[in-house]
């Protein structure tokens, strides 16, 4: 019996040692660390088809209407950003709402953080703010009311704002607050951009790629009358939609740098 008891005890000890050894091995297995990177999105501005450089406080002549325009503010929303990996999968930025503001500190760009490591070939986003956020009242971040882009609970957000001075205007100014998120006057627009056959490589040890887009504020009056005919809009409607649509559809992808 003593021999049998000793064998049983030895067997239990051997099993215990094996279990401890297994635990140690499991503890020694390194936990994978998520690999992330950033992507910068930049907008370069021109004025008119000739590609004249644009900025606030520059006096520029509109090539179609002949109006002299000096912008003092130009802002628009980009939201719901997605990136397509070369393997065909899409990554969506959480809480994706960015105000591109020509008079802000980061005047012509925003940065997308914690993008999973990968090689990206396309970008998709909305111009404007989706309907869900428009009907939920003022939000946080770039959707804060003090950003000057929130109308009220009924009309939601101003999607695009252009203000400035013009001698052709009846009062010497112009002010276009363009919004509308539902029905026929919905001016929120989804755009998908291929990166011209290039790849935006993202990772913790890779320099942050900058995706550069070209935007043309002169396009606001591509199919709309000049400021001598109408110098302000401050509610949703077909005129607001026409101006915003002409601007949005002309934005193009330029390069990765």
Concatenate the DSSP letters of all residues of 105-170 into one string: SSTTEEEEEEEESEEEEEEEEEES--HHHHTT-S-SGGG-GGGS-EEETTTEEEEEEEEEE-TTST
| Residue 17, both tokens | 């040692």
Other residues' Cβ atoms within 10 Å of the Cβ of residue 203: 14
Q: What is the pLDDT of residue 7?
A: 42
Q: What is the pLDDT of residue 220?
A: 98
pLDDT digits 0-9 by tens, 104-154: 988 899 999 999 999 999 999 999 999 999 888 778 899 999 999 999 877
C-alpha separations of 112 from 6, 39, 95, 163 in Å: 66, 5, 11, 28
d(CA 41, CA 71): 22
Query: 199: burial class by Cβ within 10 Å (0-12, 13-18, 19+)?
Result: middle
Q: Which of 163, 171, 165, 175 is nearest to 60 (CA)?
A: 165
Phi-psi region of 74 (alpha: psi -120 to 50; beta: other; left: phi over 0): beta
E strands in 166-231: 173-179, 189-194, 200-202, 210-215
Q: What is the pLDDT of residue 12?
A: 47
Q: What is the pLDDT of residue 114?
A: 96
User: HEC string of 214-256?
Assistant: EECHHHHHCCCCCCCCCCEECCCCHHHHHHHHHHHHHCEEEEE
Q: Which of 163, 160, 181 is nearest to 247 (CA)?
A: 160
Q: What is the pLDDT of residue 119?
A: 97
| Residue 228, both tokens | 């001598």
| Maximum Cα–Cα distance across the chain | 112
Give mean pLDDT in consecutive 10-residue pieces for the chain, a chain of 257 residues: 46 49 54 82 96 96 97 98 97 97 92 97 97 86 93 89 98 97 95 94 94 98 97 96 98 96
d(CA 124, CA 142): 19
Contact 243, 233 (CB under 8 A): yes
Global pTM value: 0.86
């Amino acid at each position: 019996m003593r021999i049998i008891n000793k064998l049983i005890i030895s067997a239990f000890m051997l099993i215990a040692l094996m279990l401890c050894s297994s635990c140690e091995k499991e503890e020694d297995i390194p936990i994978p660390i998520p690999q992330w990177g950033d992507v910068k999105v930049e907008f370069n501005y021109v004025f008119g088809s000739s590609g004249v450089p644009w900025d606030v406080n520059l006096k520029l002549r509109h090539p179609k209407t002949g109006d002299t325009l000096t912008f003092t503010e130009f802002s628009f929303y980009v939201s719901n950003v997605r990136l397509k990996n070369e393997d065909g999968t899409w990554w969506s930025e959480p809480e994706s709402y960015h105000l591109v503001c020509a008079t802000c500190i980061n005047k012509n760009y925003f940065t997308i953080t914690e993008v999973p490591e990968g090689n990206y070939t396309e970008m998709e986003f909305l111009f404007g703010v989706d309907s869900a956020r428009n009907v939920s009242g003022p939000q946080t971040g770039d959707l804060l009311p003090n950003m000057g882009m929130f109308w009220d609970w009924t009309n939601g957000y101003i999607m695009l704002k252009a203000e400035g001075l013009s001698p052709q205007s009846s009062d010497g100014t112009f002010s276009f607050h363009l919004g509308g998120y539902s029905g026929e006057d919905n001016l929120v627009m989804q755009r998908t951009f291929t990166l011209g056959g290039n790849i935006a490589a993202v990772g913790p040890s890779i320099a942050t790629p900058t995706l550069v887009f070209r935007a043309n504020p002169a396009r606001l009056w591509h199919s709309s009358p000049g400021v001598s005919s109408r110098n302000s809009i401050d509610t949703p409607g077909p005129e607001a939609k026409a101006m915003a649509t002409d601007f949005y559809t002309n934005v193009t992808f330029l390069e990765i740098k």
